[in-house]
Structure 1
Amino acid sequence: MSQKTMTRLGWVLSGLYILFILGASVYPKLSGMPIADETMVSLGWEHSPVLMIGILELICVLLYAVPATAVLGAVLSMAILGGAMTMQVFADMPLLSNKLFSIYLGLFMWGGLWLRSPRLRGLFPLARSL
């Protein structure tokens, strides 16, 4: 696969990740949608800082979207995804659909960043033929 193709595919994956996080997580929290509070209550957080979590997620996604700060955004996003996974474990949610969802998102996010960043591919090469 050519460098140009890898970069384009990386931006497509990154864009899908960004749109998903903005639409499914950030927007409901920042707009005060009841589902955001209901979800947190179902996980055992009666008085959760939904707005603060939404702001932190937005900052992380914006950092991830900018090439110069993308790795920092990815690391901080993984911290948030790790916290989400911890809450899923704590609430004894199903393994494949809930507990591991943060890992699925993390793989998607890092995969997009790996494909669009030659420096990251240099740090973590998968194979010589790529």
Structure 2
Amino acid sequence: MTAQTLAAPAAPSRLTTWAGRGLIGLVTAFMLFDAVIKLVKIQPVTDSFRQLGYPDSLARGIGTMELLVTALYVFPRTSVLGAVLMTAIMGGAIASHLRLGDPLFSHTLFGVYLGLMAWGGLWLTDPKLRALLPLRR
């Protein structure tokens, strides 16, 4: 057996870093907004929960969970765990919209778009994640 040494991942360029931070900022802003409106429990939230077939009593619990997951996502040390959990939340949202037959590109796939932005932001800013998930030519 031969020992292989892995090259240190290259540091991202300034443009790449700022693009990643922008994506992370957009995802964070959306998740915070979504969590807060569920915690405040405004009428559109109650209406959408009813339309999705869920009791509106779940809104505060889901909002709290989204807030905690967003906090994990924002801190670099726990950002990958936050992204994994955020992906799980988006999977639930996708399943809910798919079950109702909501419009594909605007409602059902919105969780996919948000998940891609969340992971894309981390991938652009974290050299270790880019080394783990490289793009091939």
The one-character-per-residue Cα deviations of 1:38-63 (angstroms, maximum 9, x if unpaired) are 11111111344100000000011110
Pick the aligned partner of 1:96 from 76, 81, 105: 105
| Superposition pairs of residues 1-130 of structure 1, within 5 angstroms | 2-23=12-33, 25-127=34-136
Secondary structure of the corresponding residue to residue 41 of structure 2: coil
Q: Distance in 1 between matches of 2:28 and 2:53?
A: 27
TM-score (norm: length of structure 1): 0.91
Q: Is the 8 A contact 1:26 1:55 kept in 2?
A: yes
Q: Distance in 1 between matches of 2:14 and 2:56?
A: 47
Cα drift, residue 3 of structure 1: 2.6
Unaligned runs of 5+ in 2: 1-11
Which has more radius of gyration? Answer: 2
Deviating 4+ runs (over 6 angstroms): none
